[in-house]
Amino acid sequence: MPSAAHTSTTPPQRRPIALVGAAVLITGALAAAWLWQPSAVENGSKGAMLIAPSVLGVDDCIAPPDGATAAQGAPARSCTGENGSAAALVESALQRLQPIPPEADVGFPLGYTLTVPLLRLFRAKGNDWEVDQQRVQRVVRTVRDNGRPLILYLSSSYFAQQAPIEQALLHDPQNLAQTRDGPLPVDTYRGETLYPWTLARTDTPITARRVQAAQAVLAALCELPRKDLAKIQGITLLGEMHQLAPHFESGMGFAPPYRVTDYSTASVNGFRRYLKHQFGAVERLNATLATDYRSLDEIQPPSRDIRSERLTHYTEHMDSYAHGILPISGWVWVPGRSDLWVQVYRDGGLIGRVKVNQGRQDVLKARPELGSADVGWRLDMDFRELPPGLHRIAAMLELAPGRLVPLGEREITIMDKHQRTPQPQPQSRQPLPTPVAAPEGMQGYMDMPLQQAFYYNPLAPYWLAYRRNQVADYLQFFDRMVQGPCLEDTPRYTHQLLPDASPGWDANKFAVVNSLRTQGRLRLGVDLHGNASYDPDRAKWLGTAGQHEYGITEFIPLRAMDAAELKSVLRRHAMRGARYVSFYLEPREEGQTPSRAPYAFSLDPQNPQFGSAPLYEAMRQVLGGAPAGASGR
């Protein structure tokens, strides 16, 4: 795992629903108002940011995973049968969070995220597969029978859905992403199975099945009356879509070996077409990159490490730094201080100043006495124009203007493509600013650079750009395929992660940058974990970097907040253009004894992890709910 570990928040697909028997039956006038009167959707503040939690177990209710029985997967009285739906399951969780709805136009409207596991909608039919309309109708009835506004989440990413069709799809190599060494194997991440579905092509069986299931759901929803369709405030597409690497849980950092997707034949040929579009002719490419290719058809995507492998062309070199950017990072903590900055020097000269505010859950886990994970810092240094030779990198903590404390130094080597013996650069002898003593109790460390020698390959940025295009193009394709007449004007969102929110991850391995902005009519939906969920600078970026209107597909602060702070954070996102915010919620009624431990990242009064219980109580107060333990009547 990289030194700054990203924390997965993808919940297990196969989860028991902690509701049995009559516990799922919502009774009384209040419940009826929500469940049976769609006009309730009109009572929220018009245009306000929707609070849309994802109730765990809804996907099992709609489409029980392979092998599950009604008792194991979903209560028969609400989920199955002729009128089965997840409406009551959703309401049980939402009423616990907000027992008494506020007055119209007061606060944030409360709805839900309806997760539809696309691949679980299929059933075998002879040697083929068909969409199970009974499961599709459970989706439709859920929308119909619960009066709250919702975000429709058409879910199918890399995480296994325990669907029988997945095993058939796995046996078709067309569906699998490939590193330079061949198709990726099935992987795991924090105990969850990962299937290496490719996004390098759209003419694959996995893509066709995703489209088929999504279109079946949307077609069925279009049969609903307009008042029910009006509840759907947005549609989230697929889930986290990005390029993959082997051993995902430990392989997304900067440590070698460098293995990423996609190196399939389709990708190699597509990259050559991309270069033709960029340069036109091989002569222009050679002149720009100082290469000697006879034809664009000779070009192979960069994939080999010059330090340990023989290259036919220098432009075949690839690692996390081959595009000419070197991360310099670490962490620091000073008791009683939260306004810290780090200055980074190269060869005695200042090259940048960065804020200490990035999440380092690994540091907090090792040193819980710090009380905060927001102790990380990182600066990305461009070394493409640096002269080859030895250079000195240093980091200093800025306590106040002119008062600097050393954090660490590294000597690095910028190599030329001929691998000539590097020489010290004259400026590397310049002294650093005079330091001051470290304050009492200060802790810190400089993590990166991890190695000493770095090679810039001028073809590498083009390869990385092409891989980013693959991600964005796949999402655009799926977006076009799910457009329909009855929901054409309903906003559609991606569901992307922010790899740069974790300073120990190599964002280029994910290749999601192009999809982190509005693409035509496809809006950004983004997972905000840790500091990214509450940092004002991140909210400012989301509101100004081409999004303007975005969805928060996972809101997981990973620390406690009180109601005042949480309300401030939510308001900030709403002002910046967030249209909804989703988080995980346990499906229990007030007073019910849990039959299992809560999911690690769900907001729940029984969850002791990551400040989840105080966050749940804060959310109740923000939404006008009664304190935990109160009857709400």
Q: What pLDDT is recorded for position 237?
A: 97
Report the amino acid identity of residue 539.
Answer: A
Ramachandran category for residue 172: left, alpha or beta (phi over 0 → left; psi -120 to 50 → alpha):
beta
User: 61-65, 123-127, 267-271, 388-392 — which is least confidently predicted?
Assistant: 61-65
User: 38-42, 57-61, 333-337 — which is least confidently predicted?
Assistant: 38-42
Interstrand relation of 178-179 and 182-183 (parallel, antiparallel or unpaired): antiparallel
Mean per-residue pLDDT, 44-56:
79
**pLDDT over threshold 90, residue 168:** yes
Q: How would residue 6 be classed by pLDDT, with cut points 50, 70 and 90?
A: very low
Q: What pLDDT is recorded for position 520?
A: 82
**pLDDT over threshold 90, residue 398:** yes
What one-character-per-residue DSSP string does 576-605 give? HTEEEE--EE----TTPPPSSPPPTTSB-T
- Which burial class, exposed, middle or buried, applies to 168 when counting CB atoms under 10 A from its CB (0-12, 13-18, 19+)? middle
Measured between alpha carbons, how far is 14 from 73 in angstroms, rounded to an integer?
A: 8
Measured between alpha carbons, how far is 61 from 15 in angstroms, rounded to an integer?
A: 10
**Chain mean pLDDT for the chain:** 86
The 10s digit of each residue's pLDDT in 414-452 is 999 888 888 777 765 678 889 999 999 999 999 999 878
Round the CA-based radius of gyration of the chain to a whole number and report it.
26
Q: What is the DSSP code (8-state) at residue 299?
A: -
- Which burial class, exposed, middle or buried, applies to 286 when counting CB atoms under 10 A from its CB (0-12, 13-18, 19+)? middle
Question: Which residues make beta-bridge pairs with 402?
Answer: none
- Please state the separation of Cα 474 from the chain's center in Å: 16
Q: What percent of the chain has pLDDT over 90?
A: 70
Show the tokens assigned to 314.
């220098």
Q: How would residue 507 be classed by pLDDT, with cut points 50, 70 and 90?
A: very high
User: 213-217, 314-318, 357-361, 542-546 — which is least confidently predicted?
Assistant: 542-546
Q: What pLDDT is recorded for position 199?
A: 96
Residues near 453 by beta carbon (within 8 Å), at least 6 away in sequence: 307, 412, 413, 415, 422
In the sheet that 112-117 helps form, which strands lie side by side, from edge to edge? 50-51, 578-581, 550-556, 522-529, 492-493, 232-238, 150-155, 112-117, 54-55, 584-585
Q: How would residue 626 be classed by pLDDT, with cut points 50, 70 and 90?
A: very low
Ramachandran category for residue 21: left, alpha or beta (phi over 0 → left; psi -120 to 50 → alpha):
left
CB distance 347 to 392 below 8 Å: yes
Strands in 324-415 per DSSP E: 325-333, 341-346, 349-355, 376-382, 389-400, 403-415
Rounded to 5 degrees, φ, ψ at 393 are -110, 135
Q: What pLDDT is recorded for position 16?
A: 36
Q: What pLDDT is recorded for position 69?
A: 46
**pLDDT over threshold 50, residue 85:** yes
Tally Cβ neighbours within 10 Å of residue 53: 24
Measured between alpha carbons, how far is 89 from 69 in angstroms, rounded to an integer?
A: 17
Ramachandran category for residue 228: left, alpha or beta (phi over 0 → left; psi -120 to 50 → alpha):
alpha
Measured between alpha carbons, how far is 470 from 357 in angstroms, rounded to an integer?
A: 31
CB distance 423 to 389 below 8 Å: yes
Q: How would residue 26 be classed by pLDDT, with cut points 50, 70 and 90?
A: very low
The domains located in the chain, with CATH, are 21-244+475-591+607-622 (3.20.20), 325-455 (no CATH)
Q: What pLDDT is recorded for position 313?
A: 94
Residue showing tokens 């193009």 = 473
Residue showing tokens 């028997």 = 21
The 10s digit of each residue's pLDDT in 322-350 is 999 999 999 999 999 989 999 999 999 99
The 10s digit of each residue's pLDDT in 560-585 is 999 999 999 999 999 999 999 999 99
Strands in 62-162 per DSSP E: 112-117, 122-125, 128-131, 150-155
Q: What pLDDT is recorded for position 77?
A: 61
SS3 (DSSP) at 608: coil
**Cα distances (Å, whole numbers) of residue 615 to 58, 208, 441, 543:** 22, 40, 30, 24
Q: What pLDDT is recorded for position 74?
A: 40
Rounded to 5 degrees, φ, ψ at 336 are 80, 5
Q: What pLDDT is recorded for position 65?
A: 81
Q: What percent of the chain has pLDDT over 70?
A: 86
Q: How would residue 598 be classed by pLDDT, with cut points 50, 70 and 90?
A: confident
Q: What pLDDT is recorded for position 627?
A: 47
CB distance 238 to 475 below 8 Å: yes
CB distance 599 to 609 below 8 Å: no
The 10s digit of each residue's pLDDT in 128-162 is 999 999 999 999 999 999 999 999 999 999 999 99
**pLDDT over threshold 50, residue 45:** no
User: 56-70, 365-379, 480-494, 498-512 — which is least confidently predicted?
Assistant: 56-70
The 10s digit of each residue's pLDDT in 97-123 is 988 777 766 679 999 999 999 999 999
